[in-house]
Amino acid sequence: MRTLIWLVASSWLFALAACDGSTPPGADADHHCTGVIYDHCITEHDCMNMQCMPFQAFMACTQQCTVGDDTTCPLQGTTAVTCGANAFCAPAAPNDCTL
């Protein structure tokens, strides 16, 4: 029983040590896309919310929004994102990450 408790406690400590907060949103330490909104994608399976949409010259994870109300789209960093005519948030470019 003590061994089990020690294993659980040490795994929590390891997990906490691995989270230093230095990785930018949308990418892991190697700049791999993690599937958050505005990450580059090829299929819906590349996105956490399963919504990968084509835009002008790229595909990105997105979410539905209210046409005419750009406040329904999350910011991309500090940049505002517009709600496209198709009722999906349309970033100017995908996040800086690779699949």
Angle at 33 between CA 90 and CA 47, to 5 degrees: 60
The predicted model gives 23-32 an average pLDDT of 60
| Dist. CA 63–CA 87, nearest whole Å | 8
Residues forming beta bridges with residue 83, ordered by sequence position: 89
Provide the pLDDT for residue 28.
52
Provide the pLDDT for residue 40.
96
Higher pLDDT, 9 or 63: 63
User: In the structure encoding, which two tokens stand for residue 44, read together?
Assistant: 């819906």
User: In the structure encoding, which two tokens stand for residue 36, read together?
Assistant: 């958050």
Q: Identify the burial level of 74 via C-beta atoms within 10 angstroms of its C-beta, where 0-12 means exposed, 13-18 middle and 19 or more buried.
A: middle
Q: Indicate the pLDDT class of residue 57, thresholds 50, 70 and 90.
A: very high
pLDDT at 2 over 80: no
